Amino acid sequence: MDALLQAALDARGRAHAPFSRFLVGAAIETADGRIFGGCNVENSSYGLTMCAERTAIFRAVAEGAKRFTRIAVVADIPKLTPPCGACRQVLWDLCGDIDVILFNLEGARETLRLSDLLPRAFDATYLD
């Protein structure tokens, strides 16, 4: 299995989802080949919950990563699970138009560009 997908699976195993029981793992790859995993971490105040994708990207940035090539997202449901809107926006701002690999535990897999998931994205170019 691809190291990026394996890192997402490993991260999913560490998810903290006592309320939804919806375990999600993500892993992001840097331009120099480093991989950072992240999992969803729920809170009883749902608005404070952090998604796996943002956990992975924030961890990578905290470790000094600046350029990214792709992210993988895994959940254990038949329907492939894309990043939520907040994650799409954060990924766009920090990564640009990267590949987004969605997969599940049954072996289904799809690769999309972030621009397909977030058409006409808002970014810093609107702030000039």
Contact in structure between 39 and 73 (CB atoms under 8 Å): no
Of 33, 1, 30, 19, nearest to 105 by C-alpha is: 1
- Amino acid in the structure at residue 100: V
Q: Which residues contact 66 (CB under 8 A, 6 or more apart)?
A: 30
Tokens for 61? 């940035």
The DSSP code sequence of 10-49 is: HHHTT-B-TTT---EEEEEEETTS-EEEEE-B--SSGGG-
Count each helix (H run) and each strand (E run) in the chain, helices first.
Answer: 4, 5
Q: Which residues are catalytic?
A: 53
